[in-house]
Amino acid sequence: MKKHGILNREIASILARLGHTDTIIIADCGLPIPEETRCIDVSLNLGTPDLLTVLRAVTGDMKIERATLAEEIQTNNPTVHQQVSDCLADIPKHYTTHENLKKHSKDSKVIIRTGEATPFSNVLLQSGVIFS
């Protein structure tokens, strides 16, 4: 049994297989998921687990080079936006439209679907490298 890190075997497996510039999305329960994109659904109830809980777990195991959020989160969900920004304090953040973020979901290795139930609570994480 693993001693540290993410215990969810599907998430741990995906993170172990990521290469430089590969992306994953941690999503709220409303983000549409393309048929061709793998989904790991960790939602239990509306709001559980929330986006931040899953994001914190993933950031502990993943080297993140860049994060992308929907522009709309800044005005439509400032509380979650601030929490995500704090969690990703040392990671460059970029913004795009929600529609554009949904288009990128087709290219992501996985979407981790949470129980988050607040608007525009989705973050695309781009994998970095652990050496320089």
Catalytic residue positions?
20
Residue 79 CB-density burial (10 A; 0-12 exposed, 13-18 middle, 19+ buried)? exposed
* Rounded alpha-carbon distances, angstroms, from residue 128 to 16, 52, 91: 12, 20, 11
Tell me which H or E stretch contains 125. strand 123-127
The answer on whether 131 is annotated among ligand-binding residues is no
The answer on whether 13 is annotated among ligand-binding residues is no
The sign of the CA dihedral 108, 26, 32, 35 is: positive
The answer on whether 41 is annotated among ligand-binding residues is no
Q: Give the DSSP per-residue string, 52-104.
A: HHHHHHHHHH--EEEEEEETTHHHH-HHHHHHHHHHTTTS-EEEE-HHHHHHH
Binding residues for substrate: 28, 98, 120-122
Binding residues: 28, 98, 120-122
